Structure 1
């Protein structure tokens, strides 16, 4: 018997002993009525029912057990929400009770979870960090002040795509979009480009971010059996630690350069980094470097990857549905005019483009499952949810609910024309960025970037699939991570009209 097999059997024995102890303890203290769910197996509970695409398997289970169901994931009790009605009860009426965060073991690397806005618990410090984001970073005025930088990045993107057009080469839409969102974000945060679109560093950074997110989404036995945390048997926290260190080296260099500039009384950049470095209130609250780097990680990991994923899905759906592509391009031509560059201020005048983005986010929410944890006992839909219960919002299922959406699996942007439904957290039929006090703080920036990049792609070029591929031949399957990506990277050839 080799070492890995011996270790596996040892872990299983320990798990059995530990879970038997927990089962006795729960049977003695159990109270209340949990929502229905599949009968759990000994030790593993319902883990085997999750599969490689949890959003889809949980949607199927909800058809049997209802829009609020209970699963046992190892030793962890989890409730899953799969309808807009229950989501509103959880995220609106009982938002405070569900404001805790599930701290997966991966984000414990370098204590990232303690200063992360995304992963930290709802403490006074977290509320102050949220306030900084909402009142000083992602405000309309500050984003408008940096609009010129983003305008320049869009010019760079169009010039980059034009090179492919001249050569008749296919563009990796995901890669081009990621590089652009990365530089749009880095100019908003640091007032500098982080990567050159023509350099290998863009792909390296994308790989670094994707590996970080992939490990964060990878099923981890430690999350289901917390007593194994010190062992890190799958090495996930070890890999995340290595990737975080690489990110922190980049951030440390940028922080050092900015602090040197500030000490020499150079003009302020008035970007996000300035805000963070100058943060100090009348009560002495200020941010140290160990706080700033996790916040920067939040912005780049969450904002860059989710925005680029949304644009790639939108382009894939438009190529898969040529009539919708034609309508979107016609609207841009009529509204913006030929030879003109799309501006952020144009977005409000492009209702069909906005409908395309909403329909894309309905079908392909970048984060298909977003996690909460109860910080108090709470009653939901007639059921009792104990404190410290995990809660998963199945945004993917909510966006495809046949009781809400006609022909829910079809891409049909017209359903949003004349509709007041939006994705800013108030309409629970469409909550790809969450809702309530834990809604994505970077939503205002993501809104601008997704619409601006997509509009620029469509207005500047016509697009066709490579190698004579027809729309019906496209692979529209997804792969699950923290973001829901296309299983096959989207390649498309840019051409000019005429």
Structure 2
């Protein structure tokens, strides 16, 4: 018996060695990528702007699909439309979950919001409610008067600024306008006045939040060091979360006391409260509701304002594009009234300008899927094998030729500003309406030039979103009949 045991152990050991050798011999080769340093991997090679650093490495290694270590985590980075299609369409089910990163724990209520929650019945229920009552075509059409009213307030403010020869800080005005729209739709409440101290605090909080969550936090890639919070990311985001949570809690408390005022015209929160149990028994909790409001106020304000600001910046940089857009709108509706959302389908050049801004300046440069897959949307939009003159702002590319059929709603992987697959942004329709309507109104209603002493700056700040490093400050000169600004 002793001999049998010894021989069995020896045979098992030899089999183990053989299988290890066989696995090494026949294992699949990993995609190309940089040599990884001990513990920290390739993190030093990426730089302070990971979207451009990863694009540079992909070019260096001729790797549309690249593998590298970020700390102790293996990461696959895709940088071309065909590679993105393979992961987001063919392999979509395997990459349907968001990464559970340490830095996002607090701000997402421990992943209880829609953006970061795992794919499953609860996520499907939240997305269904958001699409049905807030972000779908029918819901968006129902809230069109709110968008028109808030855009009218913006026009009046800019018209007054022009009369006083004051410059307009474009992103501040847009964020306040969008926050007021989201506030009315979700909670029946205008949130901010455009020039108020509270609105500036909100804008700064949003910027801190979205840049902080997009940072390559060392603790996310080297979990053993997470507790040290070496970059201060977690402490900063926790502080922002506490302030944001206090604001949302106060809004919900106020909302609960005004139910009678909304009879016959329920808002998003009213509809969720009355339909919070799904068919399979899953329930949208109070924490989920806070997470949903958080999603709407972050993704619903800063991302749309970023694209609009970048588009207007590019048009100031290339005045011929601004003039062509204005000429198209003037031809369709004249100068006696303001642009309406119903005019947008008749404005193909304006739509092309928006697509081109989304190509060159996606509001979300890196789209994380599963634990460690990054889709470099920024690199895809600048892929020289896909786009002629990829670094040039040329809206005409979307009016004829191969790009004319491309839409940005996840059907064409050459242009995926909202992502693609089953985790595509639920607010893609809202984002398109906001950007096209806001940009078209600003372009039609005013001539634009830089404020005196301002220099056109095209630098970007990396984060979960990618705003301009220096906000656009410009002078707006009215070009419509005075009655259009009332």
User: 1:384 matched to which residue of 2?
Assistant: none
User: 1:487 matched to which residue of 2?
Assistant: 469
1:268–1:274 contact (8 Å) kept in structure 2: no
Give how far 1:145 is off: 0.9
1:99–1:437 contact (8 Å) kept in structure 2: yes
In structure 2, how many angstroms separate the alpha carbons of the residues matched to 1:252 and 1:29?
55
2:40–2:222 contact (8 Å) kept in structure 1: no
User: 1:394 matched to which residue of 2?
Assistant: 376
Give how far 1:49 is off: 0.8
Give how far 1:266 is off: 5.1
1:150–1:187 contact (8 Å) kept in structure 2: no
User: 1:477 matched to which residue of 2?
Assistant: 459
User: 1:104 matched to which residue of 2?
Assistant: 101
Give how far 1:37 is off: 0.6
Structure 1 residues 111 and 168, CA, compared in 2 at 3 Å: closer, same or farther? closer
Give how far 1:268 is off: 4.4
Counterparts in 2 of 1:6-21, with a 5 A limit? Answer: none
User: 2:136 matched to which residue of 1?
Assistant: 139
User: 1:193 matched to which residue of 2?
Assistant: 190
2:314 pairs with 1:317: yes
1:47–1:74 contact (8 Å) kept in structure 2: yes
Counterparts in 2 of 1:83-482, with a 5 A limit? Answer: 83-109=80-106, 112-262=109-259, 267-279=263-275, 280-373=277-370, 390-418=372-400, 419-467=404-452, 474-482=456-464
Give how far 1:28 is off: 12
2:211–2:461 contact (8 Å) kept in structure 1: no
Look at both structures and tell me which one has the larger radius of gyration over its CA atoms: 2
The SS at the match of 2:106 is: helix
2:352–2:396 contact (8 Å) kept in structure 1: yes
Structure 2 residue aligned with 1:61, among 47, 57, 66?
A: 57
User: 1:40 matched to which residue of 2?
Assistant: 36
- TM-score if structure 1 supplies the norm length? 0.87
Give how far 1:458 is off: 1.0
1:191–1:269 contact (8 Å) kept in structure 2: no
The SS at the match of 1:467 is: coil
1:105–1:229 contact (8 Å) kept in structure 2: yes
Farther-moved stretch of structure 1 (357-366 vs 297-306) = 297-306
Give how far 1:454 is off: 0.7
1:55–1:394 contact (8 Å) kept in structure 2: yes
Give how far 1:364 is off: 0.4
In structure 2, how many angstroms separate the alpha carbons of the residues matched to 1:394 and 1:114?
23
Structure 1 residues 27 and 347, CA, compared in 2 at 3 Å: closer, same or farther? farther
The SS at the match of 2:109 is: helix
Give how far 1:51 is off: 0.6
Structure 1 residues 234 and 58, CA, compared in 2 at 3 Å: closer, same or farther? closer
User: 2:16 matched to which residue of 1?
Assistant: none
1:103–1:113 contact (8 Å) kept in structure 2: no
Give deviations 1:214-238, integer Å, cap 9, x for gaps: 2212231111111233443433222
The SS at the match of 1:448 is: helix
In structure 1, how many angstroms separate the alpha carbons of the residues matched to 2:177 and 2:327?
24
- TM-score if structure 2 supplies the norm length? 0.89
List runs of 5+ in structure 2 lacking aligned partners.
1-19, 481-486
Structure 1 residues 468 and 275, CA, compared in 2 at 3 Å: closer, same or farther? same
Give deviations 1:180-209, integer Å, cap 9, x for gaps: 121122222222211011211111100111
Give how far 1:270 is off: 2.6
In structure 1, how many angstroms separate the alpha carbons of the residues matched to 2:453 and 2:327?
24
In structure 1, how many angstroms separate the alpha carbons of the residues matched to 2:107 and 2:174?
30
In structure 2, how many angstroms separate the alpha carbons of the residues matched to 1:284 and 1:371?
29
Give deviations 1:60-83, integer Å, cap 9, x for gaps: 111122110011011010010000
In structure 2, how many angstroms separate the alpha carbons of the residues matched to 1:309 and 1:404?
24
1:137–1:275 contact (8 Å) kept in structure 2: no
